Structure 1
């Protein structure tokens, strides 16, 4: 049986949570709470408030006052940078604690915290990176086009109150990717973490509120599920911009809510990303990396995971053999065990969905190489699915079209470069991709032609200073880099006559 996580909750002094509104830690007005169940053990971890419309209204109004009347939007760039660097230092100082709390949230193994993109160091670097942008948000001076002697220039100003909704799979990195640029730009923000990953975010928010020097009301946290908490936040009339990471279906609801008040919106909505593997590549490495991103760590519950492996027919046998070996290396169990490599699915609803899609793949004619079942024995208490590898997949099958969000890799053969490109782009998504080949000219041809927001060549990684986002139904806008912080600003044009002559 998977060891109990309760001792770790006690060790971390995890108590029933409260929300952060206007610098105060409060319960929900209604008294409603959410009881979080750990996905690896089925144990109750703790409770936190369910914010209703009245609670969300208090949080948004606090953020509104902090923006309209408070010092933060008018703070000097150097001051905003100092606060963000202080947050980065706090993350580094408390990194182990934050990752352990995240393991209580979503059961991502502590061993996976050594991977940079999900590490505390990445979170700190995101804040550090955006701290450097605080004094570089520049407009431009334009030459007069007509009229008398005058100046034309632009200013970048904070967009206002931000409503941010973050998912459960990477709560700390995605908290940073939304909060850091918003604060650096001078915005105020209300954050709703997922009801399945709240405790690490609440702890980080407490550190920020109590030790970074950020004024009260600039950062607010409301907890609870999409209904009622998320719905109240995305529809609130005082919110100027919405930033959402999650499923395509919920992203569409966010867009509809944003349309009512013409809110600015940034969306990252997942993907069905291809790994294109040519016969001249290091096929073993390509197979190990691709299968690893789908099975290790978060068990495929990653938006950028390359879950479609498009493999040249001459490399199929080697690719499948190596991928099957990697699948056999997965170790499930208690996330605090250093030998555990992979997480369970987040809840029983997702467990049923993944098993249903695996069954549909078999019904539609795909060949199951390994996996495809729920883990039995001692692991049956958790939401564990055996690492699953499909061969003989065609791109019109459900397992090749739908974002499964589980440890499932579909291998699709191709014969030449043109077919590989057609298959890679034959999807409603466009978030990420990799091209595996020793021919750099081919790599660049494919990289330019694949419609995806990020393309890796013979590997894939995330960088805190690089834009990340998708084409098509993978969303709009970017997180990371200059593009991210500029999305939290409005651009204002200023016309200044230099004489009494009218422009």
Structure 2
């Protein structure tokens, strides 16, 4: 069992005073996997003061010094890749194939990408008679989620360190093991005292204290839209910058110009993507929009795809779908599946309850609904599980209207044969990221959404810019 009862503040592992403890549950078998200490606003204050003091020297590090630090982090990270993979499997039930090749590897990739950006980034430029200077914003509060724990901290922490910022970080208390491994990596890499400070705690206490703290100049938050609203309110009194990557209910438009084989492949791919990470992805293509005249074709392909998914223990050597993160999440998914049935959607595959033979652990059946209407809960609420809703449309205009009929705007997906038609559809979708014909994620492309899916961007140049302030100097030329 993992006992991680110390916080990392000002370059030291410290047992926090007056901290309660929380048991961390392994979602694969519901056993107690470890314990963590739970912080308070006093611990946030200690971390913020340490980060503020460290900023006075760290922001003066040269570009080369910061490059060397990030390179050493990569070296230490690579040496701990297996430890990171094991931690992710244990804390969130990610299957080994996903935990190693996607989850753990993503953190390493973000640090490598930010080294490349830092090497070439123009912090100064002359514009007319003014010199425009980009400088680190200061102390950053990073609040990260459980579903992609290392991906989400790394795409915040890497640019923060690259730009010269210091950090107060609260990982998810549900999936804290990988955070411990990463903090050990940073310590081994020689991150200067106070530059990165990590503590655990609940969002309404520690997260709120980070958001409101006067020494913190920026908060970068990933989580639910509900929690994002609370972060923004807590941050308002100190007028700090707030960037948020929040919820999604992403549409997946399958156009009618695909041949039978390609159409079935697009539908099956869309369904299978709903089972990656057990559907716990903010950008999951959870609303599939298909031509009305090809609805039965789509239903058959989605049903076959869902029934081909093997659900099993994350340590299995097979390419299985593991459990969802917690009992709370499992109950929410079950409630929404039942709501789909009660509201009249057609249950095509899956349904309520656990898959056969998996009585222990938070396992969910890959589920497909057809004949879903936009006023149903399963069409409007973020389920965050392996549940696909199939809706039909009569023409491109209706498909676009249905796609945009959501308070979210994180991602969109479009499959079709005609490039100009694809361009037209893409241009009318109100979302921050559009995947065409199954195109995968790109670590250098900005990640973020429209509307209630958040503000600001992560990854790439745009993510780097979020951690910088702009200073105009008049009267001195470079």
Q: Normalised by the shorter chain, which TM-score bucket? A: over 0.9
Give the deviation of 1:241 after TM superposition. Answer: 0.1
Name the SS of the counterpart of 1:155 in structure 2. Answer: strand
| Map of 1:285 onto structure 2 | 265
Is it true that 1:52 corresponds to 2:40 in the alignment?
Answer: yes
Give the deviation of 1:95 after TM superposition. Answer: 1.6
| Cα 1:290/1:494, change in 2 over 3 Å | same
| Map of 2:23 onto structure 1 | 35
Give the deviation of 1:376 after TM superposition. Answer: 5.3
Find the aligned partners of 1:358 and 1:365 in 2 and give their Cα distance. Answer: 11
Unmatched tracts of structure 1, length 5 or more: 1-8, 144-150, 499-503
| Map of 2:285 onto structure 1 | 306
Moved over 3 A (4+): 14-17
Is it true that 1:234 corresponds to 2:214 in the alignment?
Answer: no
Find the aligned partners of 2:122 and 2:431 in 1 and give their Cα distance. Answer: 27
| Map of 2:130 onto structure 1 | 152
| Map of 2:274 onto structure 1 | 294
Is it true that 1:486 corresponds to 2:472 in the alignment?
Answer: no
Q: Check the 8 A contact 2:47/2:197 in 1, yes or no.
A: yes
Name the SS of the counterpart of 1:334 in structure 2. Answer: coil
Say which of 195, 216, 229 aligns to 2:193: 216
| Map of 2:224 onto structure 1 | 247
User: For 1:322-337, what aligned pairs fall within 5 Å after superposition?
Assistant: 322-337=301-316
| TM-score using structure 1 length | 0.91
Find the aligned partners of 1:346 and 1:395 in 2 and give their Cα distance. Answer: 28
Give the deviation of 1:28 after TM superposition. Answer: 2.3
Say which of 42, 53, 67 aligns to 1:65: 53
Is it true that 1:23 corresponds to 2:7 in the alignment?
Answer: no
What are the Cα deviations for residues 361-381 of structure 1, in whole angstroms up to 9, with x where unaligned? 122211111111121554122
What are the Cα deviations for residues 179-219 of structure 1, in whole angstroms up to 9, with x where unaligned? 00111110001111101111111111111112x23211101
Q: Check the 8 A contact 1:234/1:257 in 2, yes or no.
A: yes
| Map of 2:169 onto structure 1 | 191
User: For 1:170-185, what aligned pairs fall within 5 Å after superposition?
Assistant: 170-185=148-163
Aligned pairs, number: 473
| Map of 1:132 onto structure 2 | 116
Find the aligned partners of 2:395 and 2:338 in 1 and give their Cα distance. Answer: 30
Find the aligned partners of 2:207 and 2:442 in 1 and give their Cα distance. Answer: 29
| Cα 1:114/1:326, change in 2 over 3 Å | farther
| TM-score using structure 2 length | 0.96
| Map of 2:144 onto structure 1 | 166
Find the aligned partners of 1:299 and 1:466 in 2 and give their Cα distance. Answer: 24
Give the deviation of 1:463 after TM superposition. Answer: 1.6
Find the aligned partners of 1:33 and 1:243 in 2 and give their Cα distance. Answer: 26
What are the Cα deviations for residues 430-462 of structure 1, in whole angstroms up to 9, with x where unaligned? 111111001111111111111111101101422
Find the aligned partners of 1:364 and 1:216 in 2 and give their Cα distance. Answer: 56
Say which of 181, 184, 187 aligns to 1:203: 181
| Map of 2:70 onto structure 1 | 84
User: For 1:404-419, what aligned pairs fall within 5 Å after superposition?
Assistant: 404-419=383-398
Q: Check the 8 A contact 1:63/1:218 in 2, yes or no.
A: yes
Find the aligned partners of 1:365 and 1:398 in 2 and give their Cα distance. Answer: 11
Find the aligned partners of 2:226 and 2:244 in 1 and give their Cα distance. Answer: 11
Unmatched tracts of structure 2, length 5 or more: none
Say which of 72, 85, 89 aligns to 1:103: 89
Q: Check the 8 A contact 1:29/1:54 in 2, yes or no.
A: no
Q: Check the 8 A contact 2:256/2:291 in 1, yes or no.
A: yes
Q: Check the 8 A contact 1:164/1:189 in 2, yes or no.
A: yes
Give the deviation of 1:114 after TM superposition. Answer: 5.6
What RMSD over aligned residues (CA atoms) do the two structures have, in Å?
1.5
Is it true that 1:74 corresponds to 2:60 in the alignment?
Answer: yes
What are the Cα deviations for residues 402-423 of structure 1, in whole angstroms up to 9, with x where unaligned? 1111111000001111111111
| Map of 1:4 onto structure 2 | none
| Map of 1:343 onto structure 2 | 322
Q: Check the 8 A contact 2:11/2:193 in 1, yes or no.
A: yes
Q: Check the 8 A contact 1:112/1:341 in 2, yes or no.
A: no
Name the SS of the counterpart of 2:59 in structure 1. Answer: helix
Give the deviation of 1:56 after TM superposition. Answer: 1.3
- The range that moved more, 337-346 or 464-473, is 337-346
Give the deviation of 1:289 after TM superposition. Answer: 1.6
Q: Check the 8 A contact 1:332/1:384 in 2, yes or no.
A: yes
Find the aligned partners of 2:353 and 2:326 in 1 and give their Cα distance. Answer: 13
Find the aligned partners of 1:206 and 1:195 in 2 and give their Cα distance. Answer: 17
Say which of 82, 92, 105 aligns to 1:121: 105
